[in-house]
Structure 1
Amino acid sequence: MKEITSPAVSPSIKKLLSYATLEEKVNEEYKKYVCLPSRKLCSMEVNEETVSCIGVEFLNSKKAVIKHIAVLPKERGKGIGSNMISFFCEKYDIHSIFAETDKEAVNFYSKFGFQITSLGEKYLGIERFLCEFKIK
């Protein structure tokens, strides 16, 4: 995993972030990772190809929120997303990590061990979920 600090977003990171947020918000979100000290964006490469990224916002020294997590479709199901979460928790000694997501990603977080709570229909016709993982 490598931390991304470049002021310009690369095409591969732009593509990955577009899986995790609206395409029109990618540049704005990327800028937050570069400018805000509370945010970190990291990527993972396989055979010199950027295949995933994870963006985290630190709420305090032991608590963080996953803002974005994405893996190229051809690389999904190989444990890459789980490895990225584990990496962040270990590297930054995170004791509690959260994510808000849609129904599509609930199984991913549930398999990792996150507790899932429905937030109801937060947007018209779209149910959202709070996923929380506490490290003992």
Structure 2
Amino acid sequence: MREINSIRVDDPAIKRLLSYATSEEKVDEEYNKHICSPNRKLYSDGINGEIISCIGIEIHNSGDGVIKHIAVLPKERGGGIGSSMIRFIWKEHNLNSISAETDKDAVLFYANFGFRITSLGEKYPGVERFLCKLDLK
């Protein structure tokens, strides 16, 4: 049975998942931003008590959401879990739009969901970044 839950306590499983979406050095900092900031939310998705994915968003007063992190355990990828988490935050927060900044590895995931993709160029030396945006209303 799958369940999506809001995270508000220190959870090593979530931090492990966040390490897939950000650098190891920034995991604690990013986790704390989600826990302490009123406009950030962090959710986990689990199967039979095992946490398999998480999504962290920042919600703006305009009803726009920014995906800050999305991560799925490698063994669970490709089964629609990431997409179901995006649909969950969209409905849970009645968002007007969702955006995310990502690297080349995740562009296809967002494009397949229907996001418009715009290159931001080489934002870091040797690393092209992309803005992915989905208008919902």
Query: Given the two structures, how large is their TM-score scaled by the length of structure 2?
Result: 0.95
Structure-1 separation of matches of 2:53 and 2:23? 17
By how many angstroms is 1:61 displaced?
4.4
- 1:4 maps to what in 2? 7
**1:90-119 deviations in Å (ceiling 9; x for gaps):** 111001010000000000000000000000
Q: Where does 1:46-61 land on structure 2 (aligned, <5 Å)? A: 46-61=47-62
Distance 1:79 1:87 in 2: 12
CA distance in structure 1 between the partners assigned to 2:13 and 2:131 by the alignment: 28
Q: Kindly state the Cα deviation for residue 47 of structure 1 after the two structures are TM-superposed.
A: 2.1
Paired residue secondary structure (1:60): coil
Count of residues in correspondence between the two structures: 134
Counting aligned pairs with the same residue, the percent is: 61
Matched residues in 2 for 1:95 and 1:133: separation? Answer: 9
* Unpaired stretches in structure 1, ≥5 consecutive residues: none
* TM-score normalised over the length of structure 1: 0.96
Q: State the Cα RMSD in Å.
A: 0.8
Q: Shift of the alpha carbon at 1:33?
A: 0.9
What pairs up with 1:31-46 in 2 under 5 angstroms? 31-46=32-47
Q: Where does structure 2 lack aligned partners over 5 or more consecutive residues?
A: none
Alpha-carbon distance in 2 for matches of 1:47, 1:37: 29
CA distance in 1, matches of 2:119, 2:25: 27
Aligned partner of 2:66 in structure 1 is 65
**For 1:62 and 1:50, how far apart are their aligned partners in 2?**
28
Instruction: Give 1:105-116 correspondences, 5 Å limit.
Output: 105-116=106-117
Question: For the residues of structure 2 that align with 1:43 and 1:61, how far apart are their CA atoms?
Answer: 24
Classify the secondary structure of the residue corresponding to 1:77.
Answer: coil
Equivalent residue number for residue 95 of structure 2: 94
Moved over 6 A (4+): none
Which amino acid counterpart does residue 5 of structure 1 have in structure 2? R
CA distance in 2, matches of 1:5, 1:58: 16
TM-aligned CA deviation for residue 30 of structure 1: 0.7
